[in-house]
Amino acid sequence: MSFLLPCPHCGPRPVDEYACFGEVTTRPAGESPSLRDLTEYVYFRDNVAGVQREWWQHRDGCGEWFLAERDTRTNEVLSISEPEPAPPV
Amino acid sequence: MTELRFLSPSQCAEGSTASPLRRALDGAPEQVRDLSLQGVLELRGDIARVEAGEGEELVRLSPRRGFLFTPGDPFEAVARVRAAGVLAYDSTGALAGLALEGEQLMRRLTDLELTKLPAAGPFARVSALVLRDEGERFRVYVPQELGHDVALAVLDALAGLELAP
Amino acid sequence: MRLGPQPRELIDRSQRVLFTFDGRAAGGYTGDTIGSALYASGQRVFSRSFKYHRPRGLLCCSGHCPNCLMTVDSVPNVRVCVEPIRAGAVVEPQNVWGSLDRDALAVTDKIGGPFTPVGFYYRTMIRPRFMWPLYEKVLRNLAGLGKVDERHHGHSRYDVEHRRARVLVVGGGQSGRAAALAAATRGPGVVLVDEGMRLRGAELEGVEVLAPARALGIWEGGLVPVDAGGVLYRFRAERIVVATGALEQPLVFPGNDLVGVMLPDGVRRLIRDFAIRPASRAVVLASDDDALEVADELREAGVAVPRVVDLRTAPLGRIEAKGRRGRVSAAVLDGRAVECDLVVASAGRQPSYSLLAQAGARVEYEPSRGIFVPAELPAGFEALGAVTGEGCATVHPLRSSGARNGDKSFVCVCEDVTTKDVDRAIAEGFDSIELSKRYTTVTMGPCQGKLCQLASIRLYARTTGVSEATVGTTTARPPWAPVELGLLAGPHHEPARRSSIHFRHEEAGATIQWAGPWKRPYAYGEHPEDEVRAVHESLGVIDVSTLGKILVEGPQAVELLERLYPNRFGDMKPGRIRYGVITSDGGRIMDDGTIARLADDLFYVTTTSTGADAVTAWFEWWNAVWGYDAEIVNVTGALAAVNLAGPRAREALSRLVDDPDDVAGDAFRYLDAKELDVAGVPCLALRIGFVGELGYELHFASPAGEHLWDRLVAEGAWPFGLEPQRVLRLEKAHIIVGQDTDSESNLLSAGMSWLPKLEKDDFVGKLAVEHVARREEVERLVGFTMEEDVVPAEGAQVVIEGRPGGRVTSARRSEAVGAVIGLAWLPPERCEDGTRFEIRVDRRTVGARVRHGAFYDASGARMRA
């Protein structure tokens, strides 16, 4: 892998400067989920052949975290965005 | 309230601190100079609120992260920046610094675009902060615990360019 | 054998260069390649083939084919036809048992038939299974090309240089040079790469010329590594112009690999570049005007050319080369033999499109010209000249001899694949070109398809009765040109992390070992137990700068930490310390360490030595999800840390601080955190007890590392290393995450059910702990003592009633306990204090007993002293 990934702060950089934290997942909210739902969240990934949203960190650069939409077949990065955190009230 | 004095080499007794590069750079050619122990702060928060003072250099990595190089006492600079509402940490002891000369030497060690500095990125296989001064003069800061090997890699690259024995 | 001066020759006849070949003296001129010098001195056999050990001679003379691979100065697989001559070089033939002229393994060519058909070892050597190690040993010797000399390190150095270009032109022929010059008029940043010798030192205005240098391929993101001999240039370019030209394609006929069958360009190089008369009688089988010109050049060079055939206008049905001792002696054309010692033959030119295909260009077949051409280039790429198909065409490369028992027809000289092999693969059902490629290995040898892909596709099309367009090409992948692995690896730098005290340990004679990314002292002497004793009886000091150290600061620091850890922190007073464990949402124990509250909104977190980066990333990632108002700052490198431990620790520390009362027992209690100046160095002192004695962890600015270490040693503290620390912590039954726990462990099974505060709304791992608590317990981590004085290996099997029942994770001999102690995973019903079980040690089983709590100082009185 040698594709360029755009960092929101540093611009396009070789992908090996980044850490990938994988697909964006949804953590079960509210009351205790079933074992099946928990297992699904912890272990199962969609692993699509196509566009998926992922967590990335510019580990060797600014160090910031962001989200990228990447086509897993071509490594084309369609968009990047900064996370929109949602702290509990 | 702690002032995090234990982070500051400038608060240590005189003569008790030493550069992490002094062994690697012992007898090094003059193209390489040791900049470790020059004052620098790591900044977190709204970087736009930080004003660089006389002789200081602000490196902004993102709206919320940056470094401030200061010729003065970094411990005092921390207090000043914190008073402006930005978190600051004395990282003088965290970084090993090298002054280098020559674009080709830099290209042997980093993939960063030398026309787009300062920037953070890989240098000699470690994460670094790279700044450019006039002409072909550069400053490179790396984690001090990796500094010894980075300095050796720099000397090796110089040897590869037959610029040093 | 040299001709008179040629107008464009590359050699300098005034400068003789001597080297050795196969143990004998050899020579040539400056400007020669090793191959041209050998050829000029009469050498014709250059190598033995991969499978049949047939003699092979120069074929392309352009660095594409495998025929001239030799070992030069211990570097295997050097293409000597393009390797510049150098004085004193030691050149050895390879893939030879015996000599180039008499190779013992050439017998495989004669008995051939039953032993070496395609897929031979896939089918034959799978049974009986126990024979495989022997088969493998023999095959390893027979197969492959060249040998790595393990005592030799090849080039003395390999460098990597990161380069950028506005326009990168690959290929320095007419179109490439014109494109480079045109680009240069529009600004700087134009680089031209060419693999030949001709452009060496050439000057093109405004263009940086790299020659001889090879573009190895085009990787994702337009990365083009260029091998410039000892230096690898990693180019990223805004625009890439591919002008790689076209490659002459061999004709496929019986005997087409005999020594003396050459491609026209190769013959032309020998004459033009090196002023060599290549042979005395030549037959020319031409498929384009270039090849016809070679016939004229041969005549001018004094070579008799009894027969020239233009295959475009006079298509011969049957061609065969006849040989004596592997060297061509005659060409048989439609049944008529013509004596000769050189057959110049080509099927025409095929665009050299691989780099473009790697970059994503589509490739399509043009039936009228018999070639594949690149179509639809990706953005940022341009193709110019012959690579686009300009001036290219091929005749059908396949010819038969018509004779029933003719010689082999080679489709692929790299891997010794014949037309019969391809036919056989098709007959066996390998009905796609990609599968056939993997089965026959055609195109998978050193030339990477340069000389065999077209012929194999056309053979495939003819045999299966479909069009070449339908057969298609195989996927083009880098590298396009061969490269030494050392060059890809780059300089020998493996940066290690060293604490700022590190060199004091080396000076003290410590045994240094890797510990994750760090270099650390294993022990200072031959007897780690002496260092353990010093800590128990007097005073020891260990460098723990490697501990991960993280500041968490902000108005919501408590909220963030309480959600990251199962623990509570809101009830802690500033100046206090708590042990904490990080778990994942799957319940896995990820790391552990201490959390000191320095102020209401400021915490100082330590992690394991290997965990600093991962824990920092973990914290930051979660906070990117949650967005608490708190900053996470990794200060691992900023701070050195030492653990001063032993009954004398307080007394020693009191002599180094301004006011001894600061470290008095009630002023500095167990699990207190305090800022103290020690020997003039401001420290964050943490009173904790990982090693089980009264102890203080001092964290302070890294640059003061050696100073403070020296002062502590001067106070009588014995340096102790990792191994004594492992014994000390085991005596306290303190776990090491990742050694005593694994991905199956959780807080409950690891004996820390007291730790998670399940009444909290949420923390990472809470859902899993709740599920685990409801589930039947599977195993538990407990301490044990051995009944005999033997130390089981880490990972040793626990045996219960003759069956496997668990495993040992740590074990050491402890002088203080007077026994071998350890930690093991056992079934829950076997975990009662004192329960006996057995552990497998060296083919027997040894008894052990479960022991609850710490092995040493169970009440903790010593560390709380």
Residue C431 pLDDT greater than 90, yes or no? no
Judge if C527 and C554 occupy the same domain.
no
DSSP C354: H
Q: Kindly state whether residue C130 falls inside one of the protein's structural domains.
A: no
Q: Kindly state whether residue C560 falls inside one of the protein's structural domains.
A: yes
Token duo for residue B77: 């600079």
Q: Give residue-wise pLDDT tens across range C645-703.
A: 999 999 999 999 999 999 998 899 999 999 999 999 999 999 998 899 999 999 999 99
What residues make up the domain containing C794?
776-863
Judge if C555 and C537 occupy the same domain.
no
> How far is Cα C449 from Cα C457, in angstroms, rounded to an integer?
11
Judge if C537 and C555 occupy the same domain.
no
Mean confidence (pLDDT) of chain C? 91
DSSP B138: E
Q: Residue A18: closest CA among chain B residues belongs to which residue? A: B121
Q: Cis bond leading into B118, ω under 30°?
A: yes
H helix intervals, C348-507: 354-359, 419-427, 433-440, 453-464, 468-471, 485-489, 502-507
Tell me what pLDDT residue C208 has.
96
Reduce the DSSP state of residue A24 to 3 states and report it: coil
Distance from the A14 Cα atom to the nearest Cα atom in chain B, whole angstroms: 9
Q: Kindly state whether residue C564 falls inside one of the protein's structural domains.
A: yes
Judge if C565 and C682 occupy the same domain.
no
Residue C139 pLDDT greater than 70, yes or no? no
Domains of chain A: 4-81 (3.30.2270.10)
Residues of C in contact with A21 (CB under 8 A): 617, 621
Cβ separation of A65 and C621 shorter than 8 Å?
Answer: yes
Range of lowest pLDDT (C393-407, C601-615, C850-864): C393-407
User: Is it true that domain B21-36+94-165 has CATH number 3.30.1360.120?
Assistant: yes
Strand bridging mode C75-79 / C55-56: unpaired
Residues of B in contact with A57 (CB under 8 A): none
Distances (CA, A) of C123 to B134, C105, C128, C465: 67, 22, 12, 27
Q: How long, in residues, is chain B? A: 165
Tell me what pLDDT residue C805 has.
93
Judge if C51 and C116 occupy the same domain.
yes
Residue C121 pLDDT greater than 90, yes or no? no
Q: Kindly state whether residue C460 falls inside one of the protein's structural domains.
A: no
> How far is Cα C756 from Cα C740, in angstroms, rounded to an integer?
19
For A23, residues 6+ apart whose C-beta sits below 8 A from its C-beta are A45, A46, A47, A52, A53, A54, A55
H or E segment and range at residue C180: helix C174-184
**Residue C668's Cα: distance from chain center in Å?**
52
The reply to whether ipTM tops 0.90 is yes
Per-window interface: C 582-621 vs B, CB < 8 A = 598-599, 602
Q: How confident is the model at residue C152 (pLDDT cuts 50, 70, 90)?
A: low
Cβ separation of A19 and C761 shorter than 8 Å?
Answer: no
DSSP C254: B
Domain boundary (C287, C316, C346) is at: C346
Q: How confident is the model at residue A30 (pLDDT cuts 50, 70, 90)?
A: low
> How far is Cα C63 from Cα A82, in angstroms, rounded to an integer?
50
Token duo for residue C534: 């010093």
Place of tokens 């790429």: C381
DSSP string over C694-760:
SEEEEEEEGGGHHHHHHHHHHTTPEE--HHHHHHHHHHTT---TTTT--TT--TTTTT-TTS--TTS
Residue A70 contacts residue A51 (beta carbons within 8 Å) = yes
DSSP C513: E
Q: How long, in residues, is chain A? A: 89
Q: Among residues C220, C245, C566, C187, which one has the least CA distance to residue C389? A: C245
In single-letter form, the type of residue at position C28 comes to: G
Judge if C797 and C828 occupy the same domain.
yes
Q: Rg of chain B's alpha carbons, rounded to an integer?
A: 16
Cβ separation of C624 and A75 shorter than 8 Å?
Answer: no
Tell me what pLDDT residue C141 has.
57
For C542, residues 6+ apart whose C-beta sits below 8 A from its C-beta are C642, C643, C645, C691, C719, C720, C721, C724, C725
Q: Which residues of B touch A (CB under 8 A)?
A: 61-65, 111, 116, 119-122, 127
Kindly give the interhelix angle for C433-440 and C453-464, rounded to the nearest 10 degrees.
Answer: 120
Asked if domains B21-36+94-165 and B38-92 share a fold, the reply is no
Q: Does A11 touch chain B (CB under 8 A)?
A: yes
In what side-by-side order are the strands of the sheet with B137-143?
Answer: B33-34, B95-101, B137-143, B126-132, B119-123
In single-letter form, the type of residue at position C168 comes to: L
Q: Kindly state whether residue C393 falls inside one of the protein's structural domains.
A: no
Task: Using CB atoms within 10 Å of the CB of residue B153, give its burial: 0 to 12 exposed, 13 to 18 middle, 19+ buried.
Answer: buried
| Domain boundaries of chain B, sorted by first residue | 21-36+94-165, 38-92
Could you give the angle at the alpha carbon of A11 between the alpha carbons of B33 and B116, nearest 5°? 35
Residue C583 contacts residue C746 (beta carbons within 8 Å) = yes
Q: Among residues C34, C58, C154, C56, which one has the least CA distance to residue C106? A: C56
Q: Measured over all CA atoms, what is the biggest interatomic distance in chain C, rounded to whole angstroms?
A: 112
Distance from the A3 Cα atom to the nearest Cα atom in chain B, whole angstroms: 14
Place of tokens 């503290």: C717
> How far is Cα A51 from Cα A80, in angstroms, rounded to an integer?
12
Contacts across the B-C interface (CB distance below 8 Å): 151
Residues of C in contact with A41 (CB under 8 A): 585
Judge if C652 and C725 occupy the same domain.
yes
Q: Within 13 Å and on the Cβ side, how many CA atoms surround C608?
A: 18
Handedness of CA C270, C272, C277, C279 (dihedral sign): positive
Q: Kindly state whether residue C749 falls inside one of the protein's structural domains.
A: no
Say how many domains are in chain C.
5
Instruction: Summarize the confidence of residues C853-862 as an average pLDDT.
Output: 93
Q: Give residue-wise pLDDT tens across range C245-260.
A: 999 999 999 999 999 9
Residue C251 contacts residue C262 (beta carbons within 8 Å) = no
> How far is Cα C826 from Cα C129, in angstroms, rounded to an integer?
37
Judge if C539 and C643 occupy the same domain.
yes
Cβ separation of A33 and C767 shorter than 8 Å?
Answer: yes
Place of tokens 């050990």: C53
Cβ separation of C493 and B91 shorter than 8 Å?
Answer: no
Q: Which residues pair with C677 in a beta bridge?
A: C682
Kindly report the pTM of this predicted structure: 0.91
Max avg pLDDT among C447-456, C769-778, C812-821: C812-821
C neighbours by CB contacts (3+ pairs under 8 Å)? A, B
Cβ separation of A57 and C621 shorter than 8 Å?
Answer: yes
Task: Using CB atoms within 10 Å of the CB of residue C737, give its burial: 0 to 12 exposed, 13 to 18 middle, 19+ buried.
Answer: buried
Judge if C24 and C72 occupy the same domain.
yes
Q: Among residues C217, C201, C211, which one has the least CA distance to residue C173? A: C211
Rounded-to-5 percentages of helix, strand, coil across chain C: 25, 30, 45
Cβ separation of A10 and B122 shorter than 8 Å?
Answer: no
Q: Does A63 touch chain B (CB under 8 A)?
A: yes
Range of lowest pLDDT (C92-101, C601-610, C839-848): C92-101
Residue C162 contacts residue B130 (beta carbons within 8 Å) = no
> How far is Cα C624 from Cα C613, in angstroms, rounded to an integer?
16
Q: Kindly state whether residue C493 falls inside one of the protein's structural domains.
A: no
- Percent of chain C, pLDDT > 90? 73
Which among C624, C628, C761 has CB closest to A83?
C624
Q: Among residues B26, B28, B8, which one has the least CA distance to residue B17? A: B8
Tell me what pLDDT residue B164 has.
56
Distance from the C520 Cα atom to the nearest Cα atom in chain B, whole angstroms: 12
User: Is it true that domain B38-92 has CATH number 2.60.40?
Assistant: no
Euclidean distance between the first and the last CA atom of chain C, given in angstroms as a whole number? 94
**Residue C559's Cα: distance from chain center in Å?**
43
Residue C134 pLDDT greater than 70, yes or no? no
Q: Among residues C19, C145, C151, C143, which one has the least CA distance to residue C77? A: C145
Distance from the C556 Cα atom to the nearest Cα atom in chain B, whole angstroms: 14
> How far is Cα C406 from Cα A5, in angstroms, rounded to an integer?
57
Judge if C537 and C575 occupy the same domain.
no
Judge if C795 and C780 occupy the same domain.
yes
Range of lowest pLDDT (A27-41, A51-65, C618-632): A27-41
Judge if C537 and C675 occupy the same domain.
yes
Tell me what pLDDT residue C108 has.
61
Q: Which residues pair with A5 in a beta bridge?
A: A13
For C134, residues 6+ apart whose C-beta sits below 8 A from its C-beta are none
Range of lowest pLDDT (A17-21, C26-30, C224-228, C486-490): C486-490
H or E segment and range at residue C295: helix C289-300
Q: Give residue-wise pLDDT tens across range C162-206.
A: 999 999 999 999 999 999 999 999 999 999 999 988 888 888 999
Q: Among residues C595, C501, C615, C582, which one has the least CA distance to residue C756? A: C582
Residue C131 pLDDT greater than 80, yes or no? no
> How far is Cα C771 from Cα C749, in angstroms, rounded to an integer?
13
